[in-house]
């Protein structure tokens, strides 16, 4: 082989479509998360939490903790509409959340996290659950936008849902100072 031979350039095109039985091309799904159905039980819990607390956005309050700094009913209505759009009504797929557009981000992160949290997660084995956790978070990150924040909140909610023992061990051990962090968590749990 000659040293002057140029290296082949990497393909910038998406992978080819899958070929189904009968030779018909089927488009490949871009996102693992979109292949998981909605867990209706979890979604009903999300709806219940929103319904119980929606008065914080739609009713005037004198409570200083929950009063909007702007004290503006129009802004409160905008927030409530975003809450419904991003968190209450399940989007058809993750791309419907438009995470790559950095506009109206008030509830995008929470909506993304709820979308990930309400997927039907395979639980047949620890490995399968850990793999689903990784794939869901990678799908969230690959959407762009404020990917770090979206993944952090989605990972926290998914972690609560599946439990510490089901988290991908290579990700947990891969954290810097994970042993110190585990000690702090155990100390906190003993306080409860």
Question: pLDDT tens digits, residue range 42-73?
Answer: 999 999 998 998 877 777 666 666 655 555 67
Sign of the four-CA dihedral 83, 87, 91, 97: positive
Alpha carbon distance 130, 107 (integer Å): 27
Alpha carbon distance 131, 125 (integer Å): 10
Q: Which long-range contacts (CB under 8 A, 24 or more apart) does 54-62 make?
A: 54/80, 54/83, 57/83
At 157, list the tokens: 């909610």
CA atoms within 13 A on the CB side of 30: 7
Question: How do the residues of the chain divide into helix, strand and coil, expressed in percent and rounded to 5?
Answer: 55, 5, 40
Task: Bin 22: left if φ > 0, else alpha if -120 < ψ < 50, else beta.
Answer: left
Tell me: pLDDT of 13 over 90.
no
pLDDT of residue 158: 94
* Chain centroid to CA 67: 28
> pTM value?
0.72
pLDDT, one tens digit per residue, over 95-131 is 888 887 776 666 888 889 999 999 999 888 888 999 9
Percent pLDDT > 70 in the chain is 76
Q: What contacts 81, CB < 8 A, 6 or more positions away? A: none
Q: Which long-range contacts (CB under 8 A, 24 or more apart) does 162-167 make?
A: 162/121, 162/123, 162/129, 162/133, 165/126, 166/126, 166/129, 166/130, 166/133, 167/130, 167/133
């Amino acid at each position: 082989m000659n040293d002057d031979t140029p290296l082949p350039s990497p393909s910038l095109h998406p992978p080819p479509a899958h070929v189904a039985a009968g030779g018909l091309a089927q488009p490949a799904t871009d996102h693992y998360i979109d292949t998981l159905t909605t867990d209706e039980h979890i979604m009903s819990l999300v709806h219940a939490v929103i319904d119980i607390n929606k008065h914080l956005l739609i009713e005037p309050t004198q409570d200083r903790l929950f009063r909007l700094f702007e004290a503006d009913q129009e802004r409160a209505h905008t927030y409530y509409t975003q809450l419904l759009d991003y968190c209450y009504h399940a989007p058809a797929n993750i791309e419907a959340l438009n995470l790559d557009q950095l506009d109206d981000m008030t509830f995008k992160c929470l909506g993304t996290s709820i979308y990930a949290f309400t997927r039907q997660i395979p639980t047949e084995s620890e490995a399968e659950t850990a793999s689903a956790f990784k794939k869901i978070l990678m799908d969230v990150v690959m959407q762009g936008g404020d990917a770090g924040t979206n993944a952090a909140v989605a990972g926290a909610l998914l972690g609560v849902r599946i439990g510490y023992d089901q988290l991908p061990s290579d990700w947990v051990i891969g954290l810097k100072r994970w042993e110190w962090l585990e000690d702090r968590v155990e100390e906190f749990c003993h306080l409860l």
